[in-house]
Structure 1
Amino acid sequence: MNGSLHSSKVVDIKLKRGPAGLGFNIVGGVDQQYVVNDSGIYVSKIKEDGSAAEDGRLQEGDKILAINGSNLENLRHREVVDLFRKAGNDVELKVLQKSSRS
């Protein structure tokens, strides 16, 4: 990288829902801020053997910007959970990855 301390990038990640769902937990929302002054939705845990772990690109601390094209800005936590529940078996995530990637 060009010496930048805070470089993050937006990526699209497609996951297939498995027996245990998508294989990760989320935190955040306008009603339960996880990051100060940021009501975004963040990945709090990647579950072993889940779709997200098998794919390998989604990491704890990543910010989920959209689910199947639906923007998550200014949504409550429960609204985002409902979007995930209704997303179907093939789920496309727009993700802002944190900068500490190799």
Structure 2
Amino acid sequence: MNGSLHSRPRLVDISLNRGPAGLGFNIIGGIDHQWITNDNGVYVSKIKEGGSAAVDGRLQEGDKILAINGVSLENRYHHEVVELFRSAGESVQLRVMKKSHLSNGPATSKPNRNPSTSTLGMLALFSGAVSIIVIIALYKRLK
């Protein structure tokens, strides 16, 4: 269905060559370091400026790495994944699920809120409470 909230994930194959600073990105996740609640996947946590991934431009923070050189990263411990990256060679093939704008986000993340909107909401709530108190006081006084 077009426009559905359950659209297909976008998979991308990315080839990167290891540079002087490695592949140019950091990862987070695994069975023992879940980044997203109830998800053992491995995610890009940081793209290093000037690194291979940044120069290529396709890999982004928040993308889920599904496989490296054809080896699935599903249900692996973080240290196992790090070792797979270290031993991957100079040319690395990544299978990536692009970050979804509908995902539930990192387990430790805080929701994005516009501070002025939150402040206005609190002010409106406070004003409403004060108005109710004033109305009750006036009602009791008139009785």
TM-score scaled by structure 1?
0.92
**Runs of 4+ with >6 A deviation:** none
- Offset of 1:5 from its aligned partner? 4.4
Q: One-letter code of the match for 1:31?
A: D
Is 1:84 aligned with 2:78? no
Point out the structure with the larger strand share: 1
Aligned residue pair count: 99
Superposed CA RMSD in Å reads 1.1
User: Greater share of helix residues, 1 or 2?
Assistant: 2
Q: Provide the rounded CA distance (Å) in 1 between the counterparts of 2:100 and 2:34.
A: 21
Q: Residue by residue, what CA displacement relative to the aligned partner does 1:29-73 show, whole Å, maximum 9, x if unpaired?
A: 001111000000000000000000000000000000000000001
Q: Tell which deviates more after alignment, 91-100 or 77-86.
A: 91-100
**Equivalent residue for 2:19?**
18
The two structures have a TM-score, normalised by structure 2, of: 0.66
Q: Please, which runs of 5 or more residues in structure 1 have no aligned partner?
A: none
Who is 2:3 aligned against? Answer: 3
Identity of aligned residues (%): 71
Q: Which residue of 1 aligns with 2:47?
A: 46
Shift of 1:86: 0.3
